[in-house]
């Protein structure tokens, strides 16, 4: 037992500082804010209980994210599973921004994130938003660094396509109103999540 | 000659990079929208409770 450990109070303070990140990562996995907070709380308590297995000097965020992610995947039957784009979140996205086109972009991106395969989404969120290195993300997701890199790049490509289509759709002289764009994106989200075969009969 | 042929590629590459950066900014924004929210009291209360009960042991 020569591993350096943090004392409990120091650990608690560092864990408390991480709560916003646990919530953000959980939100990206769950979609629904209430379910995400539930998951983040359980992960926080699990991390606290496991504090003796944390090695001081290593990345606490990556360590805690691993716990959160394992919890998420080990309890698939819980209500944590990501649902389609949450209409409340969608609406808040539009309301929060005074710039309609950037709000529509964000909304399309949120929508795009919900339709990405889970493994790609988590890789992109960890590396692209959460500030983790490829190596740390690989550890969190329990896969090779190369796998993370390819997931991130596929996710990025898919989302960039979504944003480009979005641009073509909602910009230009005849820019449609925010509420029309909202309805349209929600309809797309609905269709994608239902996994409809094709619009065979137009 | 070489540079003439390379030009469109450079343009495409640049516009791809701009888009990629914009995507990155937006992703971070979605994430930061959550990290900048005030943390619900419940979290710290739960952590405090867990700490208290482990002290009792």
So what's the pLDDT on residue A1? 47
**pLDDT tens, position by position, A124-139:** 999 999 999 999 999 9
**A126 Cβ under 8 Å from any chain B Cβ:** no
**A185 Cβ under 8 Å from any chain B Cβ:** no
Instruction: List the 63-102 stretch of A: residues with Cβ below 8 A of B.
Output: none
Query: How many CB pairs below 8 Å do chains A and B form together?
Result: 80
**A31 Cβ under 8 Å from any chain B Cβ:** no
B18, B33, B42, B43: best to mutate for the A interface, most A CBs within 10 A:
B43
Band of residue A199 on the pLDDT scale cut at 50, 70, 90: very low
User: Which residues span the domain enclosing B49?
Assistant: 2-56
**Cβ neighbours of B24 in A, within 8 Å:** 128
Rg of chain A in Å (alpha carbons): 19
Nearest to residue A22, comparing CAs of A87, A55, A68? A68
- Set out the domains of chain A in order of their start, with CATH numbers: 8-74 (1.10.1740.10), 87-194 (1.10.10.10)
Task: Please tell me whether residue A29 adopts helix, strand or coil conformation.
Answer: helix
Query: Which residues does A182 contact at the CB level (< 8 Å), separation at least 6?
Result: A90, A91, A94, A107
Helices marked H in chain B — which ranges?
A: 2-35, 41-56
Band of residue A190 on the pLDDT scale cut at 50, 70, 90: confident
Q: Which chain B residue has the Cα nearest residue A162?
A: B23
Q: Predicted ipTM? A: 0.81
**B46 Cβ under 8 Å from any chain A Cβ:** yes
Sign of the four-CA dihedral A168, A171, A176, A180? positive
Angle between helices A100-115 and A145-170 (to 10 degrees): 140
Query: Which residues does A34 contact at the CB level (< 8 Å), separation at least 6?
Result: none
Partner-chain contact A106 B27, CB within 8 Å: no
Across A8-22, A151-165, A173-187, least confident range: A173-187
Express as a percent the part of chain A with pLDDT over 70.
Answer: 79
**B32 Cβ under 8 Å from any chain A Cβ:** yes
So what's the pLDDT on residue A136? 97
Question: Does pLDDT of B2 surpass 60?
Answer: no
Band of residue A105 on the pLDDT scale cut at 50, 70, 90: confident
Band of residue A22 on the pLDDT scale cut at 50, 70, 90: very high
**pLDDT tens, position by position, A70-79:** 999 887 656 6
Task: Please tell me whether residue B1 adopts helix, strand or coil conformation.
Answer: coil
Are A86 and A35 in contact by the 8 Å Cβ rule? The answer is: no
Task: Please tell me whether residue A54 adopts helix, strand or coil conformation.
Answer: coil
DSSP state string for A101-127:
HHHHHHHHHHHHHHHS-HHHHHHHIII
Structural domains counted in chain B:
1
DSSP state string for A136-152:
HHHHHHTS-HHHHHHHH
Band of residue A183 on the pLDDT scale cut at 50, 70, 90: confident
């Amino acid at each position: 037992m020569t591993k350096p450990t943090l004392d409990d109070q120091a650990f608690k303070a560092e864990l408390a500082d991480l709560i916003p990140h646990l919530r953000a990562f959980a939100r990206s996995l769950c979609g629904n804010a209430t379910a995400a907070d539930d998951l983040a709380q359980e992960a926080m308590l699990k991390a606290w209980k496991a504090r003796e297995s944390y090695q001081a000097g290593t990345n606490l965020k990556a360590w805690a994210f691993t716990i959160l992610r394992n919890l998420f995947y080990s309890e698939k039957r819980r209500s944590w599973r990501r649902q389609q784009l949450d209409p409340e979140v969608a609406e808040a996205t539009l309301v929060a921004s005074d710039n309609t086109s950037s709000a529509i972009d964000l909304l399309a991106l949120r929508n795009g994130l919900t339709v990405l395969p889970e493994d790609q989404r988590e890789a992109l969120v960890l590396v692209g938003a959460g500030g983790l290195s490829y190596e740390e993300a690989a550890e969190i997701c329990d896969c090779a660094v190369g796998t993370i890199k390819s997931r991130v790049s596929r996710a990025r490509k898919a989302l960039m396509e979504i944003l480009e289509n979005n641009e073509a759709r909602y910009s230009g002289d005849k820019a449609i109103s925010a509420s029309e764009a909202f309805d349209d994106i929600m309809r797309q989200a609905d269709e994608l999540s239902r996994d409809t075969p094709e619009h065979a009969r137009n | 000659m070489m540079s003439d042929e390379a030009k469109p590629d450079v343009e495409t590459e640049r516009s791809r990079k701009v888009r990629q950066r914009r995507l990155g900014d937006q992703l971070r924004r979605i994430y930061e929208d959550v990290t900048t929210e005030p943390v619900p009291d419940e979290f710290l209360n739960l952590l405090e409770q867990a700490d208290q009960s482990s002290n009792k042991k």
